[in-house]
Each structure stands twice: as structure tokens, then as C-alpha cells.
Amino acid sequence: MDISNLGARWVEVDLDVIKYNFEQIRELVPRPVKMLGVVKADAYGHGAVEVARVLEKLGIDMLGVTTVEEGKELREAGVTAPILVFGPFLKEDVNTIIDYCLTATIGNRESVRWLQDGLAQRGGTVKVHLKVETGMGRTGVWPRKALQVISEISAVSGLYLEGIYSHLATAMWKNKRYAQEQYAIFKNVLDNLARENINIPIKHLANSAAVLDLPHMQLDMVRVGTLLYGQYPAPELEKKIKLKDPWSLKAKVIYLRTLPAGHSVGYGRTYKAKRETKVAVLPLGFVDGLQTEPVQKPANILDLLKGIAKLVLHYLGHPLVSQPVIFPGGRGLIIGKVGMQLSMVDVTTLKGIEVGTVATVPARRTAIRPTLPVVYREEGRVKSVKVTSAAIWEKEIAVK
Ligand SMILES: *Cc1c(COP(=O)(O)O)cnc(C)c1O
């Protein structure tokens, strides 16, 4: 497939790398433990449909999304694996859950009643998993209410309680105390069920960080996202498996020039060339999601100090605050402020760079412009290209 007419910027996703990462995770999670592949948020920016198809081929037991709309999108693309919707749903979502055969999460008593009403009207069956609040402080029934909600679910014909789960808030921390406390609370609920002879087939708790660090929490199934996409939940976790990154943002050099020493670069003149500097202009900027990292409240004093140090370096015109752009001949740093659609890279020491040279640009994959073309590689070649232009969206709306 020819990708030369895609334009000067695009995303590449290597599906073989996702397969490779899956196999690595399977080394840590042997059968009979089931694996749920998390494909929420467009598979963390990799394309939910494309990733789901690959995971289905690999024999994934279940897929996970946050919203019923995400589940519906997968079904409409022909995905047949069980799909667990993590997020709470609304009354008006019930028909979609039934019609698209989605597995719903029960996090309160109202949602049981909504499903009951929907099933009475439409017939059919719905599989559900009960979510238990153990410390995330987000969604789920309180542990002491679990038995009661379970009996309410059992009383509804057509409703099948397939699973029970909870979600860890701090499994990526080095200090595992809170995660262990969450596990103990969950385990206590499971023990109570066993005492009442209630058997729920799939009990699950572990996310990526727990898969790496807390193997005793694997239970009947693990839910992995981050690891599949080649990232470690936190830099300090021991890298028990060697993962690869399937995602990259590409751009062609569209302009090259040499600036004399002392010349400034970009808006606000935040960078001044210390020596004669060869500058490559790349056609990517804020609008594409470049350098739009979310500003978070510092987690601790060290985090705060690092943030301040970065700001000081930035103020002094140090380009080291961003990760390097990778060219065939080496690495270059972004200099000056990133513009709306253009950015500048210092390539003074690199050889062989011309207009048209393809660079790999650092960016946050879940924050980039969703209309960038995506090239999917599989078995070493281009398998498909996804182009979502604003024009297509407009046309779809106009047709409706
Ligand atoms: C996102 C999510 C996961 C996956 O977490 P990772 O750390 O990316 O593996 C698992 N379970 C639930 C409920 C989630 O929302």
C-alpha cells in the first residue's frame, strides 16, 4: 500500500508489536487466568477497532471499554468477543446494552432496576459484573451492600451475574500497602460469598501494575491496557517483561535553514541560537497535540521540585524540557515555542537531513489530534490506512 500521498504528518501503529506485548504479558499471566484487553479511549489512542481485531485473533477472553458507545462501535465493526463496559450507564443506555450484547457493570441498585425494566420490555438476556468499591472512590457498591445487590440481580430473569470486580488506585506505587488493603477488602467480600455458597465465575482486580508486581491478585482474570501498548505503569516498577512501543507520530521535514548565532527562534523569542544553527521545520504543533501535556498537581515535594527545575531550565532557554525528535541520522531537540501547526528542531549536528526526511516526534498518544491519518502495519507491511477527515464527519452529520 502506498502511503506517499498521506500528507506530511501521520501516526503509525505496528500491530505486530501489540501481538508481541500480548505474548509477553501471557508469560506473567498463564492460563487458566483469563485476560481482558482494555481498548477504552480508542485503545489508548491506537484505534479500538483495529486493536480489538488483533486481540480477538490472539484469543483474548474479553475486551474492556468505559462507555456503551465504545462497545457499540466495536460491535458495529464486527467484533464478537465479550465486551465489558466499565463505566456506569444511564437508563437510556439499556437498549444499547441489550441490542449490542454488551456486558454491563452494576455499581448501584438503580442500574439493576433499569435493566429489569428494559429486559421486561425487550426480552433477551444481559450479562453483568458487579463492581465493588474498595478504595478507588469512584464507582461501585459498598462491600457491605454487595450481598444485597447480588440477590437483587439474581431475582431478575434474563440477568446473569458473570463477574465481580474492583479497581486498584495505587498498584503502580512502590509502596503496596494501600493496594494490599484494597485486595483484603475485596477478598473479604469474596469470602462472604463463598460462605453463602454464591458462585460468581469471574472474579477480577488486577490492572497492568498488579500484573507486574502483585501476581497473587490475578484471581480469575486480569485487565490490561498500559502493558499491551508497550508502556510501564510507572518508571520505577521492575521491568519483568520487555515491551515494545507500537505507536509513533511521524512528520516530514518541510523546510530547512541555517540561522546565524544569536538569532531567535519562534514566538516570544524564548530560544536564541548559541551558535550557527541548522533548523528543520516540522508540520506539527499545538493543534496536533504536540506539547500539550496536562498540568497535574505535583504528587509530592520531589515532583514539585522537578516541575520548578523544568520551568527554570525552560526560562533559561534550555530545550531539554522536551523529549528528542528522532531522525534517521540521530536525535534533535525542539527549540523555541511550538506553534499552532509548526515546530522547529535543532539538527545542526545531524547528517543527511533534507526536506522530506521523515522524523519520529514525541507526543502523548491519547492527546493527539484524532483526525491525523493512521497507518497500520502488520506482518511487516502496511495493512491499512485510517483517514478520518473533518469533511467526512460533516458529511455524516449532513446525511442524518
Ligand atoms: C483502564 C482500566 C484498566 C486498565 O488499566 P491499565 O493500568 O492501563 O492496565 C483496568 N480496569 C479498569 C476498570 C480500567 O478502567
- Domains of the chain, by residue range, sit at 15-232, 254-355
Is 351 annotated as catalytic? Answer: no
Bond before 32 cis per omega within 30 degrees: yes
Domain spanning 254-355 has what CATH number? 2.40.37.10
- Residue 207 CA: nearest ligand 1 atom is 9
141-145, 205-209, 338-342: range with lowest mean pLDDT: 338-342
Q: How far apart are CA 87 and CA 103, in angstroms?
A: 11
Cα–ligand 1 centroid distance for 63 (angstroms)? 11
Check pLDDT > 70 for residue 393: no
Position 22 scores a pLDDT of 98
Residue 35 assigned ligand-binding role: no
Q: For ligand 1, is residue 182 a contact (CB within 6 Å)?
A: no
Q: How far apart are CA 259 and CA 84, in angstroms?
A: 55
What average pLDDT score do residues 120-140 get? 96
Residue 340 assigned ligand-binding role: yes
What average pLDDT score do residues 161-182 get? 96
Check pLDDT > 60 for residue 391: no
236-245, 297-306, 361-370: range with lowest mean pLDDT: 297-306
pLDDT in tens, 32-87: 999 999 999 999 999 999 999 999 999 999 999 999 999 999 999 999 999 999 99
Centre a 10 Å sphere on the Cβ of residue 71 and count the other Cβ atoms it contains. 29
Q: For ligand 1, is residue 205 a contact (CB within 6 Å)?
A: no
Check pLDDT > 90 for residue 392: no
Q: For ligand 1, is residue 67 a contact (CB within 6 Å)?
A: no
Fold of domain 15-232: TIM Barrel (3.20.20)
Q: For ligand 1, is residue 208 a contact (CB within 6 Å)?
A: yes
Burial of 228 (0-12, 13-18, 19+ CB in 10 A): buried
Greater pLDDT, 25 or 5: 25
Is 40 annotated as catalytic? Answer: yes
Q: Which residues contact 270 (CB under 8 A, 6 or more apart)?
A: 264, 314, 317, 336, 337
pLDDT in tens, 219-250: 999 999 999 999 999 877 777 899 999 999 99
Q: For ligand 1, is residue 134 a contact (CB within 6 Å)?
A: no
Check pLDDT > 90 for residue 316: no
- Residue 229 CA: nearest ligand 1 atom is 8
Q: How far apart are CA 388 and CA 6, in angstroms?
A: 12
Question: Annotated catalytic residue: which of 255, 267, 306, 315?
Answer: 267
Residue 166's DSSP bridge partners are: none
